[in-house]
Amino acid sequence: MTEVRTIGLLGGMSWESSIEYERIINTAVREALGGVHSASLIVRSYDFAHIERLQAAGEWDSAGSLLAADARHLQDAGAGLIVLCTNTMHRCAEAIEAAIDVPFLHLADATAEAVVAAEVTDVALLGTRYTMEEDFYRARLERHGLVVIVPEEPDRTLVHEVIYEELVKGVVSRVSQEAYLDVIGRLRERGAGGVIAGCTEIELLVGPDDVDLPYFPTTALHAQAAARWALAGLDEA
């Protein structure tokens, strides 16, 4: 039997969400193949404190060089697909893509495909301040014909601070969950027909059962797309 194809994961940003990538991909492979099958993964996990310092200092070129070099190392180690397990660091996606010869599975593309398939056109985006305010992510979604709605202030600051002060540290608060749901309610009033959890940690706080709009959990969507790629190699064998 031909083995599943190998995925290279750039993770640890934060590890709270990266372990969800591993869980989802491994579960998908086991469910598809049965027995004790699991995914073939090569993982580079970072000390998030270093990455966060680069983000805060606006040193995106340095961050991109780091990620690009490690993506190349994953490729050289045998990965046939590179997956960056974080929304925010997709600001460095172009640097990574330029450094590798294998495919790069862009998180925003995997998410947008799910939104389009659900026939949602106007969609709310929650994430870090970088993801909500800069074009690197929103513009990628808009390429798929979506209208992206982000929170107004002070809601953007609230969403951002809960991520960095709580979720990346493993703190899940009912108070913060209710605050997020209030933000989502205001986005709905502005015309949002769905919600993108555009930070991989947000899914630890708000799930699809918590909202009455179509909900697009980027970690799950991205990881499931990666698993489909890994299993597609069996169909080609």
For 115-128, what is each residue's pLDDT tens digit?
Answer: 999 999 999 999 99
One domain for residues 225 and 182: no
One domain for residues 30 and 101: yes
User: Are the CB atoms for 145 and 121 separated by under 8 Å?
Assistant: yes
One domain for residues 79 and 153: no
Count how many domains the chain has: 2
Going by C-alpha positions, the residue among 123, 175, 173, 131 that lies closest to residue 149 is 123
Going by C-alpha positions, the residue among 215, 226, 214 that lies closest to residue 107 is 226
One domain for residues 16 and 73: yes
One domain for residues 188 and 161: yes
Q: Which domain holds residue 186?
A: 108-217
One domain for residues 118 and 97: no
One domain for residues 119 and 141: yes
User: Are the CB atoms for 75 and 102 separated by under 8 Å?
Assistant: yes
One domain for residues 81 and 131: no
Contacts with 45 (C-beta within 8 Å, 6 or more apart), sequence order:
11, 12, 15, 18
Catalytic residues: 86, 199
One domain for residues 146 and 208: yes
Q: Which DSSP letter does residue 170 get?
A: T
What's residue 235's pLDDT? 61
> Does 1 map to a domain?
no
Residue range 21-55, pLDDT digits in tens: 999 999 999 999 999 999 999 999 999 999 999 99
| CATH number where 153 lies | 3.40.50.1860
> Does 151 map to a domain?
yes
> Does 61 map to a domain?
yes
User: Are the CB atoms for 237 and 230 separated by under 8 Å?
Assistant: no
Distance of alpha carbon 158 from alpha carbon 151, whole angstroms:
10
Going by C-alpha positions, the residue among 233, 235, 237, 226 that lies closest to residue 74 is 226
